[in-house]
A and B are shown apart, each in its own frame.
Chain A
């Protein structure tokens, strides 16, 4: 059985990989060739793969333990000990973090392998892998941390890596700006998170020891008043909004598509954006005590899910469609967390990680084949030329649309069922419509890319279309298999996933009588029918006859709706008008032209002017001529002699 000490190696190995690749990247920074790609890819794929191995061994160990003892901890060293604040470098492995480490390292490893093929011709190969490993490290710290400060360390780390990777091709200023946007938006969320940590620390100051770790927090929860809990959970949720791209902090995620596509798959679909969900599930004992926060989360999640789905319908960039679908699916997870179905939220996180990574990697393969073209209106008919990519992409599309037996069906259905169970029927209906929209835009994407005939004008590009190399298709195949089967972990009434997470999220009320079973089956059929409607609509719109599209373009109202959706509900424009423009104006007119020019500069220059005026007249004595100084000295000495002589006599 694996010793607890090895827990530290799960994050440590990717960190070592990052440092090694980083050294390679630095030492070859000025070379024309760059370092040897083979060594780099070996080191940096090995690190997450080994971490995955260790994580799997820990999973097996956890499984062999009795249910109520499934908590492994390892204290690496003492970190901050001040007064009664004791924060240690503690790692915690329980069913939840075990699930997360396996997802991160497994999908992470596949994406590393995929990147070897995808980034093969890039000059900054080593730098790329260094960032990617660093990201894996941060994410593992986030999920393995036993207390909030370590979690925050990982939380900031993934934000940083996200910034580095979005702006990876930083010579393109548009991409560099996208990186800044992600970082700044995340900072807003992180600020909320940090305030939450401070407030929690402050209100727990009577607890002894105040270690901010999840286990002792759970025990001292009675020290908190309900209003404090609401404030803390809301602040934490602001952090989750930033990291998991919920309205109104979602704006960075679609722009994050400026980074290399495998990065979009790893960070902006499978792992980093799920940090918010993970945090809420981890702190579920706090959230459950605050119904106000939960209903707020539920509302935000639902609005985000619906909003993103409506935007995804009209996007023309393949990665933007997927980005908005990610935002929408994250909304679903928050919706589930909001109704208290933490297990359903984690389950959707789990399945979504697989099929969204698959879809992104598939889109990367498509973009690669299309000579970096991302506009779906310039694609089409790729099915015959890229069979593996096409087939795996279809599986991903079916999974996200919620068609049984693919993974997304089980998780999304569970979420919708829990929403229904909570009695909030309008929310259920909007969720159902969103699920139909999801099926529609995903199949729109699939049909436009893979079906029909190619619409690209450049014959050279069309001739060049080819299947991607093995290192890229292999991860696709593995992810496609996973997307097909992982859903069965959460079959209703036999929910292995839920019982696995039970030690973390506590005993859930057992499901009620058979009547609700009947209801559940009805709801399942419901969701499938809605998804099928969405798919058939997409088929009618984009395969059968395009004349419907022409008619829509003719209609004024529909055209306006279309523009509204295509411009992402004008969120960016709104922020520009409401926040950025006034801020810039304030900085320019008040801070720069008034405060800086008049007050700061006035103080600095005024000091100089004051002394200049004071020294008027005396200044000429300092002539700079050494001999005059010597005369003054002589005079002074003589005067001293005269003085002492007059005193003594």
Chain B
């Protein structure tokens, strides 16, 4: 039996909300980071599914773009995390609050 579009979208939505929940509830910056990646990939899955079911390659092209951006974002984000860790000696986002008003 071939799964329909709805089940793909459902998986994608579940993945996305796991990501959102992770970003909102966890304090460890690495976990937050991973949750963001999860959200990105949930979106990717949506694109791919629509692309597959609507016979349109544009969605797949965008997915490649998102993967590239995500890779770059991961590289920069991780280096920033390392620098912050060096300065603050902590991985908890609650400690990073120098930008408060």
Which residues of A does B touch, CB under 8 Å?
Answer: 615, 619-627, 630-631, 634
Partner of A624, one of B20, B24, B96: B96
Query: Which of under 10, 10 to 19, 20 to 34, or 35 or more describes the interface residues of B?
Result: 10 to 19
Which residues of B does A touch, CB under 8 Å?
Answer: 20, 23-24, 27, 93-94, 96-101
| B100-A622 in contact (CB<8A) | yes
Report how far A448 CA is from B100 CA in the complex, Å: 81
Partner of B101, one of A615, A630, A631, A634: A615
| A630-B97 in contact (CB<8A) | no
Report how far A289 CA is from B98 CA in the complex, Å: 76
| A625-B101 in contact (CB<8A) | no
Q: Which residues of A contact B23 (CB under 8 A)?
A: 627, 630
Report how far A621 CA is from B98 CA in the complex, Å: 14
| A625-B93 in contact (CB<8A) | yes
Report how far A627 CA is from B101 CA in the complex, Å: 16
Please count the residue pairs between chain A and chain B whose beta carbons lie under 8 angstroms apart in the complex: 32
Q: Which residues of A contact B98 (CB under 8 A)?
A: 624
Q: Which residues of A contact B94 (CB under 8 A)?
A: 625, 627
Q: Which residues of A contact B100 (CB under 8 A)?
A: 622-625
| B24-A627 in contact (CB<8A) | yes
Q: Which residues of B contact A626 (CB under 8 A)?
A: 93, 96
Report how far A540 CA is from B99 CA in the complex, Å: 88
Report how far A630 CA is from B27 CA in the complex, Å: 13
By secondary structure, the B interface counts as loop
Report how far A619 CA is from B100 CA in the complex, Å: 8
Report how far A375 CA is from B93 CA in the complex, Å: 78
Q: Which residues of A contact B24 (CB under 8 A)?
A: 627, 630-631, 634
| A620-B101 in contact (CB<8A) | yes
Closest chain A residue to B101, Cβ basis: A622
Closest chain A residue to B25, Cβ basis: A627
Q: Which residues of A contact B93 (CB under 8 A)?
A: 625-627
Report how far A119 CA is from B55 CA in the complex, Å: 90
Report how far A627 CA is from B97 CA in the complex, Å: 10
Report how far A178 CA is from B98 CA in the complex, Å: 53
- 29 of the cross-chain contacts (CB-CB < 8 Å) are A615-B101, A619-B101, A620-B101, A621-B101, A622-B99, A622-B100, A623-B97, A623-B100, A624-B96, A624-B97, A624-B98, A624-B99, A624-B100, A624-B101, A625-B93, A625-B94, A625-B96, A626-B93, A626-B96, A627-B23, A627-B24, A627-B27, A627-B93, A627-B94, A630-B23, A630-B24, A631-B24, A634-B20, A634-B24
- Whole-angstrom distance from the CB of B19 to the nearest CB of chain A? 11
Q: Which residues of B contact A615 (CB under 8 A)?
A: 101
Can you add 9 more A-B contacts, CB < 8 Å, to A625-B94, A626-B93, A627-B27? A619-B101, A623-B97, A623-B100, A624-B98, A624-B99, A625-B93, A625-B96, A626-B96, A630-B23
Report how far A624 CA is from B99 CA in the complex, Å: 5
Q: Which residues of B contact A620 (CB under 8 A)?
A: 101
Closest 7 pairs (CB-CB, A-B)? A624-B100, A624-B97, A622-B101, A619-B101, A624-B99, A625-B97, A623-B100
Q: Which residues of B contact A622 (CB under 8 A)?
A: 99-101
Q: Which residues of B contact A619 (CB under 8 A)?
A: 101
- Whole-angstrom distance from the CB of B35 to the nearest CB of chain A? 10
Report how far A625 CA is from B27 CA in the complex, Å: 11
- Whole-angstrom distance from the CB of B63 to the nearest CB of chain A? 23
Closest chain B residue to A629, Cβ basis: B99
